[in-house]
Amino acid sequence: MPDRRAIIIGSWLAKGRNRPTPQRIRGLTDRWTRIFDSNRYGYRSVNDPTTAPVPFLNPRHSQILELLENARQIGPETELLLYFVGHSVSLGEHDLNLILGTGEEGADRMVALSTILSEIRQTGISRMICILDTCHAGRSRTTFSALRDQAFAMFASGTAYAFEANFSDGLLQAFEQPIRKNDQRIDRRSGGVTYQKLFQEARRRLRQTASASGIIQEPVCFGDLGGTVIEPAPRVIGDEYSEFALSRTIYGRLFILLDILKMRDRTMDELGLKPNNFC
């Protein structure tokens, strides 16, 4: 399994704001914990690859920095999932201040997204999946330009508002569901569930929610790692003949050939098998 790590940050404390609620944020981070405990995708802690990641709730920047400074067994193929749900404010034209909580006097405790990305890169991690469920997340697209070929970013919204962490709910549902027959999360060319397909499923679910509530919110994504397979699709080959396939197709002829090969202790002459029979 690939070397995958994760940093999960949830914050509900922001000056003058009371939504999303603490219960909503805790519920989302608890779901991440269950995904990690199942080891379905193999996400581990940055500072201890033998343990599951522990979500940060209303953390201080120093706590995140300490985790990164103690990163262990990082290699060129290590992939980091960075997830943030909470409030943020614009920082210049292309950056965000993520609000991690409030201080003793009620003021917001913030850290620039660009600062977090720089600190991550100092650990040696170059492959990154970034998920931001916060308002105006898409404005930080330029901040990721240097990482584009080694990153995939999912933003709950472009330059508009993100509501009630609904994008996170849809994305977690996409992560949680087991693979089903004809699963739309599977990229057939890649052979499994990809980050791009997970994003598309989350966006589909969010659009359904938004349509019912009348809220306009359009998630966006970009980056070259979207096609990364996060879970291989099961390889199942049916042994029953499809009644919709003509016997003269390659598919039909192959089944005839397989039936012939099942007949043991027969010579080619006895089987009447000649090369031109299947051309």
Per-residue model confidence (pLDDT) at position 263: 62
Q: How many residues does the chain have?
A: 279
Domains of the chain: 4-232 (3.40.50.1460), 237-279 (no CATH)
Q: What is the pLDDT of residues 178-204, one digit of tens each?
A: 998 889 999 999 999 999 999 999 999
Q: Which of 48-57, 107-116, 245-254, 269-278 has the lowest mean pLDDT?
A: 269-278
Q: Give the pLDDT of residue 217.
A: 82
Q: Residue 255 — very low, low, confident or very high, per pLDDT cuts 50/70/90?
A: confident
Average pLDDT on 82-90 reads 94
Could you tell me which residues come within 8 angstroms of residue 65 by beta carbon, excluding any fewer than 6 positions away? 119
* pLDDT band at residue 278 using 50, 70 and 90 as cut-offs: very low
CB atoms within 10 A of CB 279: 6
Q: Which residues contact 133 (CB under 8 A, 6 or more apart)?
A: 83, 84, 85, 86, 156, 162, 165, 167, 168
SS3 22: helix
Looking at residues 219-245, what average pLDDT do you find? 80
Per residue in 237-250, pLDDT (tens digit) is: 556 666 556 667 77
Pick from 46-55, 62-71, 92-101, 262-271: least confident: 262-271
- Using a pLDDT cut of 90, give the percent of the chain over it: 62
pLDDT score at 172: 97
Q: How confident is the model at residue 163 (pLDDT cuts 50, 70, 90)?
A: confident
